[in-house]
Chains A and B, each alone.
Chain A
């Protein structure tokens, strides 16, 4: 886009700058110290050196050369062309007296002319040149701001031609070849100027064929679409010129020229101006948008009252009546043209030149004010101290000047506000509305309200056709508000969003051109958005994250948004981003609180599944604990119906996964075990059945992942004293502290795969004898996997050591182990749930 914009600007800027250079050189040339007689030649008398004007006090004036005289020869040379005269004059130096042969009416006379310094410019020309340059700069600014806009390009071209016409064609001509060149350039500009007027008025403020349905508008539209309008409009004047000149050449007749152009061309110009003004009048009367109508009307009046007096008083009168008496009154109204254009542009926002004019107005007012203050101070001071030494002191003007410098900035601030109020009411209103919207955003927590403001009020304020909002969702962007014809989702937008962010958060869609080559996805999205009429994209993002995307259409009047507007929208999007993030966070927080509450309920339910009080089998003492790492856990223990009467069976489980999924699986395993244990209390059969059920559950569930298993330990205190049967399915081997103090690890069964991992299983039950005083500690891996701040695991050895020194009662063992773990972890949040079951073969009662 940047390159496209640069190219578009360059295409017009290069010839524009050349024209500017030519105009500058033309003016500069006028001030070069050349020997000059003070004669200003008639520009429309090719082949003769007819005096148009004689500069007062010049050598020619003193020698009695008068307007209407013809310079026949200079310094013994009969002249053929003005350039010939320049050649002759350049052989002399300033102050020299040179003989002139002059024809005055029918009388030929020789006079002596003292050559002076070249000085042919006058106030009128200065005025014309200033006008020309003001046109140029206004056109240049508009082009740089709106290179895409055809009207802006034509406006710039028109400004360049105006510059060339005013600076080159109205230049007082003397003898130099530069004059001939410059005048010819001015004539060429004059030939094309009405064509640019006609072209501009046909497309300004909107191309007439886009909103008119009559036959003429349709014809013009058809020509424009086929690319024939511009060659036709711009081709006719030079063609007429060429035909007329060729005809005069072949007929050997002298071609009468008016400001360098034949009369036929003036008729073409009149027709063009008539058509152009007609088109503008039609726009002013019937354009659908009132603002554009008013703008077109103003430009119409400005052109009418600016150009018509100029054509009559500054062109027709000097050419036909040979009088320049009214020249001033012809040139001065011309200033109406740029002024009305500029005012229409500011007042009705037709093009983007407000900034420069605002600043110009401000600094002009400032300069006037400062000068007035300075003058006032000086006058007051002189009045107060007249006649004293103080008044004569050179210090005081300096002090006043310093005071003015200090006052400048506060004054500027004071003045800016009333200027803005006076000249830029609509702009101020827009700014105010945007500020209000921004403030509302910062106070807003309702996402719906923010969305509504963005997609409804924002386009209304800016005069856009539509706006839409996309929010980040599942790695993509989903449309949450906006017209239905826009894509519902935008995918692969990371690069897109990054690009927009880097360019200030709001860009024209065209600015993504460089990205399109990198990413086909962006290319696709870009194409979709363009087809939907999107012209701008803005990112909603905070430093922490990207929130979404706002897409905006162009304005209803097909004018591009001004840079000021874009700045305002950028600020607004930043505020909207904050509001949207706040709103999202608030929503998330609410959801989190609900989740926590639900988890708390789940924890309560889960806790209720654990036995409130363990049954105490005869000859055994049992204690157990399940401490979840989070609110809800995956560990559990439960009492199961024992296969042998009088026995006491305990199962303890540890499901893989945490939080809700883990808790759900834990509850499922709990219920499966209980349900199956009623019919199949045999531990091997029970575990095999439970394995099958859980495996099926895992396979059929969309919630449980492939790694969702249940590690289970089964302990049965046999009614036969001292016999303990156990099996393990993924749980670590329990530890046994023998009555003699030694700690052993229980033998692991051959098949010890966790429940639900494989469809088939073959769990075996191991029977072991426990002597009175022997203590068994079964645990889940959360106990040995507990980690200290140094990253070390608590481990089985440390657990065994704790068990060695643990008291004899099972509850004491559990408490001791938990304390040791807590000490070891130094208060760090546990990583995993911990389940401990301690079983002691009672010393007295354990005896057979």
Chain B
């Protein structure tokens, strides 16, 4: 054999091996469709959904179904996301669709997703979770399954497991923004604020045209007392998505916590002019802003009067309820406070045990503390506030700020009880999360009850 022949033979062998390797190792399509265009559309839809661009995702899914009406997963995603369909009807349509799917010609991922959805739709969460675990055992790096599993962990309060699962998800699929968002909140809840910030920043980097990551980041700043940065993020979120009402709320809260009432009122004027959110939402925000000075100054009767005059009592909202409940108790209006407590009790009694139920239970405990303060039962108040603190998490700015507020209540009770050491420890806990709030408390600018005024401070 000559050198040339040897080289030709070697080249042929190498090319053949490479071709075989490419063929065997080629990425298999994860979604079953006969149309490459439909597959591209579907993939684009999934990518958009992964980044929470739901409108775009919906358009892509529609297009995919148009291109291949037999594209099972595209039809399912479309059915899941279609607006304007009532929950029951949507579930009915989805169930029909899922039942008609021919699982034999689908990929393992598609089979799993359909069976999982069927179990969920049929109200069999245990079966769904079993399917998920089995699938994950076989395909531990499937981002869709990881996302589902991480969500379950988080929902069930298994923060460490949820965090690990989401971290795995973003490692497998680094541009899955929901993963970063969830990781941000989980880290926030765990008190790992730098990690939380990092995740939100990554989310913001991937989706800079979305309001959500800015709002999430703003929430973190709001909770941690970085009000100025929070304001910047919320403004950015509103700029991106004018009707992102949560950011209007958060922005108002940031102004209030920073003590910038002018900006808060300016915001209200802007809302009146631009009408980004519903009337109810605007009114609620107006109430919060207008009642805030009285609350800070602990002018309970004025506060209740202003609420009554401003029509604020017609609205129910957690932060509003907490404020009115405290004002009612401190001003000696038992009927009002009891009405609120009854409402909470009703929520807390629900068997499903959703988010609101959990919060309502905390509110009842916290409310008991407030009642104890008003009754002069400082020990009872301490116990209640401590218990509420144990139940509260730093999840988002809402629950997180409530937790800090509850701690401030506890600190003031401890102060009133003369237990300065306990008070310091409690303030230290607040400082670890939100140094601004701790400073405000220490300077006397922020005292929930005004039980023991600082020298020079008027006693009401």
Contact = CB atoms under 8 A, between A and B. Distances in A.
B228 to A, nearest CB: 17
Interface stretch (A76-84, A273-281, A343-351): A76-84
Contacts of B7: 14
A110 interface: yes
A80 B170 CA distance: 10
Contact of B174 (A10, A78, A106): A78
A77 B194 CA distance: 21
B2 interface: yes
Interface in B1-22: 2-4, 7
Contact of A7 (B3, B175, B208): B3
Contacts of B2: 7
Contact of A11 (B3, B194, B207): B3
B202 A101 contact: yes
Q: Could you say which of A78, A101, A106, A110 has the most chain B C-beta atoms within 10 Å of its C-beta?
A: A78
A72 B202 contact: yes
B205 A78 contact: yes
Contacts of A110: 201, 204-205
Contact of A77 (B197, B201, B204, B206): B206
Contacts of B3: 6-7, 10-11, 14
Contacts of A109: 201
A73 B194 contact: no
Nearest to A106: B194
Contacts of A14: 3, 7
A847 interface: no
A514 B206 CA distance: 71
A2 interface: no
B207 A76 contact: yes
B206 A73 contact: yes
Given A14-B7, A106-B194, A99 B174 contact: no
A678 interface: no
B175 A78 contact: yes
B208 A99 contact: yes
A101 B205 contact: yes
Given A14-B7, A77-B175, A79-B174, A99 B194 contact: no
A14 B202 CA distance: 49
B198 interface: yes
A106 B206 CA distance: 19
A14 B3 CA distance: 10
A612 B175 CA distance: 136
Given A7-B3, A99-B208, A108 B202 contact: yes
A533 to B, nearest CB: 29
A91 to B, nearest CB: 15
Contacts of A76: 205-208
B206 A78 contact: yes
Contacts of B206: 73, 76-78
Contacts of A99: 205, 208
Contacts of B197: 108
Nearest to B203: A78
Interface string B427-456: 000000000000000000000000000000
A291 B2 CA distance: 38
Main SS of the interface on chain B?
Answer: helix
A11 B10 CA distance: 12
Contacts, number: 41
Contacts of B201: 101, 108-110
A175 to B, nearest CB: 15
A73 B205 CA distance: 8
Interface string B57-91: 00000000000000000000000000000000000
B208 A108 contact: no
Contacts of B207: 76
Interface residues of B, number: 17
Contacts of B205: 72-73, 76, 78, 99, 101, 110
A6 B197 CA distance: 67
A457 B197 CA distance: 89
Interface in B176-235: 194, 197-198, 201-202, 204-208
A108 B196 CA distance: 11
Interface in B153-189: 170, 174-175
Contacts of B208: 76, 99
Interface string A100-142: 0100001011100000000000000000000000000000000
A78 B167 CA distance: 14
Interface in A61-99: 72-73, 76-80, 99
B183 to A, nearest CB: 12
Nearest to B209: A76
A705 B4 CA distance: 62
A164 B175 CA distance: 36
A109 B7 CA distance: 52
Chain A CB within 10 Å, residue with most, of B4, B197, B206:
B206
A310 to B, nearest CB: 33
A76 B194 CA distance: 21
Nearest to B172: A80
Nearest to A75: B205
A109 B198 CA distance: 8
Given A101-B202, A110-B201, A80 B174 contact: yes
A73 B202 CA distance: 8
Nearest to B208: A76
Contacts of A73: 202, 205-206
A80 B172 CA distance: 9
A6 B207 CA distance: 62
Contacts of A108: 197-198, 201-202
B149 to A, nearest CB: 20
Interface string A1-34: 0000011001100100000000000000000000
Nearest to A11: B3
Contacts of A10: 3-4
Contacts of A6: 3
Interface in A339-376: none
A733 to B, nearest CB: 78
Q: Of residues B2, B7, B174, B207, which shows the largest number of chain A Cβ atoms within 10 Å of its Cβ?
A: B174
B435 to A, nearest CB: 19
B178 to A, nearest CB: 13
A6 B174 CA distance: 54
A15 to B, nearest CB: 9
A538 B205 CA distance: 80
Q: Which of B2, B3, B206 has the most CB of A within 10 A?
A: B3
A68 to B, nearest CB: 17
A501 to B, nearest CB: 29
A2 to B, nearest CB: 13
B37 to A, nearest CB: 22
Contacts of A7: 2-3
Contacts of A77: 175, 206
B43 to A, nearest CB: 16
Nearest to A108: B198
A308 B197 CA distance: 47
Nearest to B175: A78
B236 to A, nearest CB: 13
Contacts of A101: 201-202, 205
Nearest to A78: B174
Nearest to A73: B205
- The 6 A-B pairs with the shortest beta carbon distances in the complex, nearest first, are A78-B174, A101-B205, A108-B198, A10-B3, A7-B3, A108-B201
21 contacts: A6-B3, A7-B3, A10-B4, A14-B7, A72-B205, A73-B205, A76-B208, A77-B206, A78-B170, A78-B202, A78-B206, A79-B174, A80-B174, A99-B205, A99-B208, A101-B201, A101-B205, A108-B201, A108-B202, A110-B204, A110-B205
Interface of A: 6-7, 10-11, 14, 72-73, 76-80, 99, 101, 106, 108-110
Given A78-B205, A108-B198, 18 more contacts: A7-B3, A10-B3, A14-B3, A72-B202, A73-B202, A73-B205, A73-B206, A77-B175, A77-B206, A78-B175, A78-B206, A79-B174, A99-B208, A101-B201, A101-B202, A108-B197, A109-B201, A110-B205
